[in-house]
Amino acid sequence: MTIKEIARLAGVSNSAVSRYMNRGSLSDDKREKIKKVIEETNYIPSSYARAMRTRKSNQIGVIVPKINSESVSRVVSGISKVLNEAGYNFLLADTDRSLEKELEYLEVFRQGQIDGVIFMATIVTKKHIEHLRELQKPLVLVGQNIPEFACVYHDDYMAAYQMTKTLLDTKCKRFAYIGVTEKDVAAGKSRKEGMLRAAREHDLKEEDIVMAISDFTMESGRTAMRELLQQAPDIDGVFCATDSIAIGAMDYLKEIHRRIPKDVKICGIGDKKVSRLITPKLTTVHYYYKTSGIEAANMLLDRIQTEEQPTKHTMLGYELRIQDTI
């Protein structure tokens, strides 16, 4: 069924049918005729032709590092909610934490039928910046603060500062930090710097702090904890850049029968659901992941609908969740 056939069957012109489907401005009798024919034939306009003609797909590209991760899937859930209500669909690109795949998808989305892109960033290289510039489509970053582009992110620096300060206030003697690569500015660099500020305020020098770099898995957090203890067996306070790391570290501490929080205090960032299920309950920082997805999607829709927008930066707050590991 094409618009042409409908027009023929209804005894009107193509344009009349097109008007019927879109705005209006049509006499009532034609409207009736067309309505009847369309109902009889179950006519559906070709979204292919429409997209080609209007250069609008109503599709958003969403790039995420790992969909089967709690924080990411919560962000996506927020994005989904907003976009759907606005009549948009979205293509999900899961990069499995591969920087190359991120670049590839930016390219795919640049070439494809995509009205805008939400990019949940981790490590942002120069190449990333170049690709983002070349995108030439409305864009919002989630999770990282890049001045040049519109962003939604959390206050990692202050979150880490407050969490560390709270930990150090409990007067632990030997303080350790397990972070992630500083190439990830939000989770790596900012959180480390926040932690360092709190340490300084407690008269700790950087060289007094036992530190390790982990990746985003529990297993890696576990290993880091083990290695730190070999280096400094008297550790009695650990701040971890993420909950997964903290949970992995706790797992090891339990295994070697260190009591938490009596022997070792520990805390993280992210407030994963499991934090409240394990024993003892992990002290952590709540992040508004779903909200950040909602904010990002709304921001993107703004940018799509009204051009010449200034790049907006939205920084979300956080909330300390003091539980039983501190």
Q: Is 141 helix (H, G, I), strand (E, B) or coil?
A: strand
Among 70, 115, 215, 227, binds a second copy (CB under 8 A): 70
What one-letter code names the amino acid at 252? Y
Residues 287-316 that bind a second copy (CB under 8 A): 290
**The one segment of 46-54, 80-88, 266-274, 297-305 that binds DNA by CB under 7 A:** 46-54
**Does residue 274 belong to the site contacting a second copy (CB under 8 A)?**
yes
* 3-class SS of residue 254: helix
Told to check if 256 binds a second copy by CB under 8 A, we report: no
Residue 292: both structure tokens together: 């950040």
Of 265, 264, 274, nearest to 243 by C-alpha is 274
Number of residues that bind DNA (CB under 7 A): 25
Among 138, 195, 117, CA closest to 161? 195
Would you give the binding string for DNA spanning residues 1-40, x where CB under 7 A is met?
Answer: -xxx-------xxxxx-xx-xx--xxx-xx----------
Whether 278 contacts 247, CB under 8 Å: yes
Q: How far is the CB of 254 from a second copy (least distance, A)?
A: 8
Q: Tell me which of DNA, a second copy, none is bound by residue 18, counting a contact when its beta carbon lies within the kind-specific cut-off of 5 to 8 angstroms.
A: DNA
> Cβ-count burial of 198 within 10 angstroms (0-12 exposed, 13-18 middle, 19+ buried)?
buried
Q: For 107-250, where are the E strands, in sequence order?
A: 116-120, 139-142, 151-154, 175-180, 210-214, 237-240
267 pairs with which residues across the strands? 239, 283
Q: Pick one of 22, 35, 52, 206: the residue that binds a second copy (CB under 8 A).
A: 52
Single residue of 22, 41, 89, 231 touching a second copy by CB under 8 A = 89
CA distance 245 to 251: 10
Q: Give the footprint of a second copy on this chain (CB under 8 A).
A: 44, 46-49, 51-52, 55, 57, 59, 62, 66-70, 73-74, 76-77, 80-81, 84, 89-94, 96, 101, 108, 110-113, 247, 251, 273-274, 277-279, 290
Q: Give the footprint of DNA on this chain (CB under 7 A).
A: 2-4, 12-16, 18-19, 21-22, 25-27, 29-30, 45-46, 48-50, 52-54
